[in-house]
Structure 1
Amino acid sequence: MNYFELFDLPVSLTIDKSGLAKKYFELQKKYHPDFYTQADEAEQEDALEKSSDINKALKIFQHKDSTIKYVLQLKGLLEEEEKYQLPPDFLMEVMELNENLSKDSTEAITAFENDIYASVKQIIELYDDTTITTKSLLKVKEYYFKKKYLQRILDRLDD
């Protein structure tokens, strides 16, 4: 069972967070290990595993980038700790940003991030699991790695 099934959500790159907490508490009420102290060992183990999955799912669904990563993994398009080769033109633009890095660079990096998001905005926001193509998901994968790369630069600025 994947996390979308667990939370009874359609597979999507964006999660409607309005009902997420309610569903989380509903599932925790049902599967929290404290409610299975009198159950047999197999039921206790199952409750512990489900409770752990519920916590992991919530953590993933609360963050857009984590949700994108999870969907790409579900589709078999992203492996844990994958080394992804970013396009040379992107790396050149990032190198220029890096060379001129200062406290004021946050705006330029954010604008750059918005530009790369524009190319996948429709795919992400209008995602339909029944009609999505591998080609579209590969564009999202590239966006995911580009954004991750830019986030590392922003994190360095915050230090």
Structure 2
Amino acid sequence: MNYFELFDIPVSLQVDKNTLAKKYFELQKQFHPDFFTQATEHEQSEALEKSSQINKALKVLKNENETIKYVLQLKGLLEEEEKYQLPPEFLMEVMELNEELSANSQQQINDFETEIYEPVKNSIENFSAETTSTVELLKVKEYYYKKKYLQRILDRIDG
């Protein structure tokens, strides 16, 4: 059972946070280990495992980047620890940004992120498990890796 099935929500690259929270609380009422203190050891163990799975799913589905990664993995388009090759021109732009880190860099990176989001905006915002093509998802995959790269620079600025 994947995380979307667990929460009984449609597969999406942008999960509705209100629906997610509502479903989370429903599931926790049903499976939280505190409600199984009088149950058998086996039932307690199952409740603990289910609750843990619910918490992991929540962590992924409430983070847009993790959700994109998860959907791409479900579709067989992204592997854990994959060595993805980003376009050289993107890497050159990022290298220049990285070398010129300043107080203004945060805004430059945010602008750059907006720029790389634009080509995949429609695919992400209107994702459908039935109609979104593999070609569109491969573009989303590239966006995911580009954004991840930019996040590393932002982390350096903040850290």
TM-score, normalised to structure 1, is 0.95
Q: Which residue of 1 aligns with 2:66?
A: 66
Q: What is the CA RMSD across the aligned residues, in angstroms?
A: 1.1
Q: Which residue of 1 aligns with 2:92?
A: 92
1:15-34 alignment runs, 5 A limit:
15-34=15-34
Q: Which 4+ runs in 1 deviate beyond 3 A?
A: none
Q: Which residue of 1 aligns with 2:150?
A: 150
Structure 2: distance between partners of 1:15 and 1:148:
19
Q: Which residue of 1 aligns with 2:35?
A: 35
Structure 2: distance between partners of 1:149 and 1:43:
43
1:134 CA drift (Å): 1.2
Structure 2: distance between partners of 1:45 and 1:72:
31
Runs of 5+ consecutive residues of structure 2 not aligned to the other structure: none
1:77 CA drift (Å): 1.2
Structure 2: distance between partners of 1:108 and 1:8:
39
3-state SS of the aligned residue for 1:58?
helix
TM-score, normalised to structure 2, is 0.95
Q: How many residues align?
A: 159
1:51-130 alignment runs, 5 A limit:
51-130=51-130
3-state SS of the aligned residue for 1:119?
helix
